[in-house]
């Protein structure tokens, strides 16, 4: 292996992590912070800092249907440029073959889409007060919001892939239009507008509680976008579209309804090149038709509800000042660009190229970094080959106690712009195993999950950003152990920016050009970006590096 860089040498402290694995007949175990005198120990702890290559990977044609949440609005990232996000969604009826009663007449139609919010207290009347979560950009800037009836049918199944093959839709952010692509087809939703259902130049998410219902029966709920349609044009539209179809095939079942009313197109537009973006919870969104029916002297009230379900997808339009390109996969890059939506990620090759490898007899041989790593840590037999497995695992001559990627944010290039000093304070890096398109083993072992507050979740495997130095630590202890003792071949780690490290679903790339075939879906619904020091950074002490703390017999 390339002669280890002995960056730290502990004479009195032995660092052992509270994990164990079987590498021979007895387990290696750890004691996190016991202090042993040099004279009382028969092993020492050292650190390797290994050569790696980290490079940029431009992301295009990402699957944008089936996301857990959806972005809507306009976002300016000072390091990259602007992104506009719109939504296309199917809706389904709460019931089919409805009976609207005698002479039904619509009173109003309400569109209700909840925001993500957190209760932060109570007011003088004992009612909850809220803080909006997942709002990005200039939170005081309004945007233009138009809600149209969409006439493009979003299929459930791919006709070219068989009855069981789901139809996927992929981003097309560089097109300059609210469009998506499938295999061989591009759909611009501006070309499929039927009617305008709602429009405002004053869309501004609010943390005020929402009030849903009628004047006689109002329910207070968490903050939401709530539009009440009471114009004659709106009433006529919904009367013709829903009420008048009472006994028709269109309202008889879900399949017919989806083909008849093909959904909504929520189009966002900046105002004077400014605005904000919000993450929406469409799972609980609905359209409620309030109507009366019955005899003239004894009218009754009722509702008919349409839910946002079925296919829901995001469209993105990027207008970047910072060009995103694939980087140098052999030597790595000086700067790494992590950008959400259809942006960019970093690929970390843990064992890059050829290195000078020192054998046990002191001979220096050129070997691949991957082979050298295994020869340095595994036991060898008298012929210089790996010792035979014990209980299915390779025995080790050096015990990996801790290993992590040390990553620094480039605090000069990752500018706060107009957003203030806290703009990057809450950045989280999410690392994943590229070969298996899955979370790392260390992530899966990490018991520090926090489902209610993702910012403080998985802090052992994925550290929070150090607000002073901009440093992250991505722990790969168990990942490297899998390579050493179980012969895993997962040598590349993907890095993306994430607003929610608990969200581990993947999004497929339509036409992969390398081993990256999936990206974490969390990166798509994270509009922000950051800039990191790569392994070729001009600032040597902040270069991205892999550190391995290990113990070996004296």
SS3 assignment for 372-425: HHHHHHECECCCCCECCCECCECCECCEEEEEEEEEEECCCCCCCHHHCCCCCC
Ranges of residues in the chain with a pLDDT under 70 are 1-44, 162-163, 212-218, 554
pLDDT per residue as tens digits for the range 69-97 = 999 999 999 999 999 999 999 999 999 99
Question: Is 418 strand, coil or helix?
Answer: helix
Within a 13 Å sphere around the CA of 199, how many CA atoms are in the beta-carbon half? Answer: 8
In the chain the first and final C-alpha atoms are separated, in Å, by 20
Q: Look at residue 17 in the predicted model and tell me its pLDDT.
A: 35
Q: Look at residue 41 in the predicted model and tell me its pLDDT.
A: 52
Task: Confirm if 15 and 402 have CB atoms less than 8 A apart.
Answer: yes
**What is the spatial distance between Cα 30 and Cα 550, in angstroms, rounded to a whole number?**
12
**What is the spatial distance between Cα 436 and Cα 488, in angstroms, rounded to a whole number?**
11
Structure tokens belonging to residue 267: 């189009």
Q: Look at residue 297 in the predicted model and tell me its pLDDT.
A: 86
Cα 279–Cα 283–Cα 288 angle in degrees, nearest 5:
110
Q: Look at residue 422 in the predicted model and tell me its pLDDT.
A: 82
The residue among 448, 440, 418 whose CA lies nearest residue 350 is 440
Q: Phi and psi (nearest 5°) for 279?
A: -90, 125
Burial annotation 169-201 (CB, 10 A radius, 16+ → b, else e): bbbbbebebbbbbeeeeebebeebeeeebbeee
What residues contact residue 371 under an 8 Å CB cut-off, 6+ apart?
357
Query: Cα 196 to chain center, whole Å?
Result: 32
pTM for this one?
0.89
Question: Is 442 strand, coil or helix?
Answer: helix
Task: Confirm if 471 and 465 have CB atoms less than 8 A apart.
Answer: yes
Q: Phi and psi (nearest 5°) for 84?
A: -115, 130
Question: Residue 383 burial (CB < 10 Å; 0-12/13-18/19+)?
Answer: exposed
Q: At what angle do helices 369-377 and 477-486 cross, to 10 degrees?
A: 80
pLDDT per residue as tens digits for the range 491-504 = 999 999 999 999 99
Within a 13 Å sphere around the CA of 401, how many CA atoms are in the beta-carbon half? Answer: 20
What residues contact residue 474 under an 8 Å CB cut-off, 6+ apart?
404, 405, 407, 429, 431, 461, 462, 463, 493, 495
The residue among 350, 388, 391 whose CA lies nearest residue 371 is 350
Cα 214–Cα 216–Cα 220 angle in degrees, nearest 5:
65
Q: Look at residue 43 in the predicted model and tell me its pLDDT.
A: 63
Task: Confirm if 500 and 462 have CB atoms less than 8 A apart.
Answer: no
Strand pairing category for 545-553 and 43-50: antiparallel
Alpha-carbon torsion 129, 133, 137, 142, what sign?
negative
Q: Look at residue 159 in the predicted model and tell me its pLDDT.
A: 84
């Amino acid at each position: 292996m390339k002669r280890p860089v002995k960056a730290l040498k502990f004479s009195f402290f032995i660092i052992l992590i509270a994990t164990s694995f079987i590498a021979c007949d007895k387990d290696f175990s750890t004691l996190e912070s016991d202090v042993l005198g040099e004279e009382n120990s028969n092993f020492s702890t050292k650190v390797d800092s290994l050569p790696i290559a980290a490079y940029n990977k431009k992301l295009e044609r990402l699957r944008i249907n089936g996301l857990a949440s959806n972005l809507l609005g306009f976002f300016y990232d000072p390091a990259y440029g602007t992104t506009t996000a719109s939504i296309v969604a199917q809706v389904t009826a709460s019931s089919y073959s409805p009976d609207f009663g005698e002479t039904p007449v619509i009173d109003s139609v309400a569109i209700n889409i909840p925001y993500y919010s957190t209760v932060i207290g109570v007011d003088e009347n004992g009612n909850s007060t809220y803080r909006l979560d997942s709002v990005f950009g200039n939170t005081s800037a309004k945007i233009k919001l138009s809600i149209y009836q969409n006439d493009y049918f979003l299929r459930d199944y791919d006709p070219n892939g068989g009855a069981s093959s789901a139809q996927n839709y992929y981003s097309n952010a560089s097109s300059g239009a609210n469009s998506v692509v499938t295999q061989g087809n591009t759909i611009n939703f501006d070309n499929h507008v039927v009617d305008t259902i709602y429009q405002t130049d004053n869309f501004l998410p609010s943390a005020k509680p929402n009030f849903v219902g009628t004047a006689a029966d109002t329910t207070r709920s968490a903050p939401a976008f709530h539009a009440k349609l009471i114009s004659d044009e709106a009433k006529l539209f919904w009367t013709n579209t829903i009420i008048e179809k009472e006994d028709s095939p269109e309202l008889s079942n879900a399949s017919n309804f989806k083909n008849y009313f093909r959904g909504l197109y929520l189009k966002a537009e900046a105002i004077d090149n400014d605005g904000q973006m919000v993450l929406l919870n469409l799972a609980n969104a609905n359209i409620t038709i309030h109507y009366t029916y019955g005899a003239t002297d004894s009218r009754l009230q009722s509702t008919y509800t349409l839910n946002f379900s079925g296919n829901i997808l995001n469209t993105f339009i990027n207008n970047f000042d910072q060009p995103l390109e694939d980087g140098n996969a052999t030597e790595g890059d000086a700067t790494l660009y992590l950008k959400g939506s259809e942006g960019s990620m970093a690929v970390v090759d843990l064992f890059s190229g050829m290195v000078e490898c020192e054998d046990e007899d002191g001979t220096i041989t050129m070997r691949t970094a991957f082979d050298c790593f295994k020869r340095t840590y595994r036991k060898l037999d008298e012929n210089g080959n790996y010792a035979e497995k014990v209980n299915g695992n390779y025995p080790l001559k050096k015990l990996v106690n801790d290993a992590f990627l040390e990553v620094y944010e480039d605090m000069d290039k990752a500018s706060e712009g107009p957003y203030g000093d806290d703009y990057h304070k809450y950045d989280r890096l999410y690392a994943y195993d590229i070969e298996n398109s899955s979370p790392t083993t260390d992530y899966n072992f990490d018991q520090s999950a926090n489902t209610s507050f993702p910012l403080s979740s998985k802090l052992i495997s994925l550290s929070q950003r150090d607000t002073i130095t901009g440093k992250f630590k991505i722990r790969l202890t168990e990942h490297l152990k899998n390579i050493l003792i179980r012969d895993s071949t997962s040598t590349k780690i993907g890095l993306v920016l994430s607003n929610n490290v608990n969200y581990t679903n993947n999004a497929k790339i339509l036409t992969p050009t390398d081993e990256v075939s999936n990206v974490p879906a969390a990166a798509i619904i994270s509009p922000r970006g950051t800039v990191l020091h790569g392994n070729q950074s001009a600032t040597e002490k902040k270069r991205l590096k892999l550190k391995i703390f290990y113990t070996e017999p004296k």
